[in-house]
Amino acid sequence: MSRVIVYSTGICPICEKTKALLKKWQIAFDEKRVDLDQAALREFSQVTQGARTVPQITIDGNWIGSFSELTEMHMDDKLDHLMQNT
């Protein structure tokens, strides 16, 4: 299991952008489609404290937020440890 989980749907362009950036940054991730998997939807709701938009991202089980928060972490060099340890 990857340290990064992206909760997404099949019709979300920002989800695709998020996954593309993670791949570009060589950060391994697991995708959980909340539109196809009821268990993933329940997990998504619990982990994100009821977030209603996708994508939502967790790192090491901690909810960090969405695409904006991910890119801010990258700009602040807070993702470097993930690139080294994945």
For the cut 80, the answer to whether the pLDDT of residue 82 exceeds it is no
Q: Which CATH class is domain 4-85?
A: alpha beta
The pTM is what? 0.91
> Helices (DSSP H) in 25-66: which residue ranges?
38-47
Judge whether 47 and 32 are in contact, CB under 8 Å.
no
Q: Which amino acid is at 2?
A: S
Domain ranges of the chain: 4-85
For residue 79, the model assigns a pLDDT of 84
Angstrom distance (rounded) from CA 67 to CA 55: 7
pLDDT band (50, 70, 90) for residue 7: very high
For residue 80, the model assigns a pLDDT of 80
Quick one: average pLDDT of 45-52? 94
For the cut 80, the answer to whether the pLDDT of residue 1 exceeds it is no
pLDDT band (50, 70, 90) for residue 85: low
CA 52 to chain centre: 14
For the cut 60, the answer to whether the pLDDT of residue 43 exceeds it is yes
